[in-house]
Amino acid sequence: MNPPFQGKTLAQLSATGVFLFAAISALVSAGGLVYLQTSWQVRDGLRLAALVFFSLLAVLTARTAVRAAYLHPNDATEYLVYAHGASGIKDVMAQIDKISSRTAGGQNLTLAYDNSAPDSGVAWPFTWYLRH
């Protein structure tokens, strides 16, 4: 990430342009709000503040929902999916199914794994996925 006003390359000038556009947009918006607010009462200002606050909450909720459901459904990068396992378990199960179908036919493969130590890291996921 390039900070603004740091050089003449295309990426640095682009960062400067994005910063200037955001700064000018914020100033114009603030000026427009001050112009409109001259005839407002305090109650109107509170309504606007509540609208902005809840709109921000809606945008953040939508962002988190999209990231959790579509962008990172198997990774615990969002707090909503902290309890999800990584995709490694399903990858291993797909390989086990492929090996079983090639060697033993169907789900007839005899597979050994350590289920005795609860803190071994494999007890719970494989207990569930290898239940049949």
Supply the range of the domain harboring residue 77: 41-84
Residues 32, 47 within the same domain: no
Q: What angle do CA 15, 28, 1 make, to 5 degrees?
A: 15
Residues 35, 46 within the same domain: no
Average pLDDT by stretches of 10, the chain with 132 residues: 88 93 96 84 89 96 87 71 69 89 83 68 72 75
What was the pLDDT predicted at 53? 97
Residues 71, 55 within the same domain: yes
How many structural domains is the chain composed of?
Answer: 3
What was the pLDDT predicted at 82? 63
Measured distance between the N- and C-terminal CA atoms of the chain, rounded to whole angstroms: 50
Residues 33, 7 within the same domain: yes
Q: How far is CA 98 from the centre of its chain?
A: 32
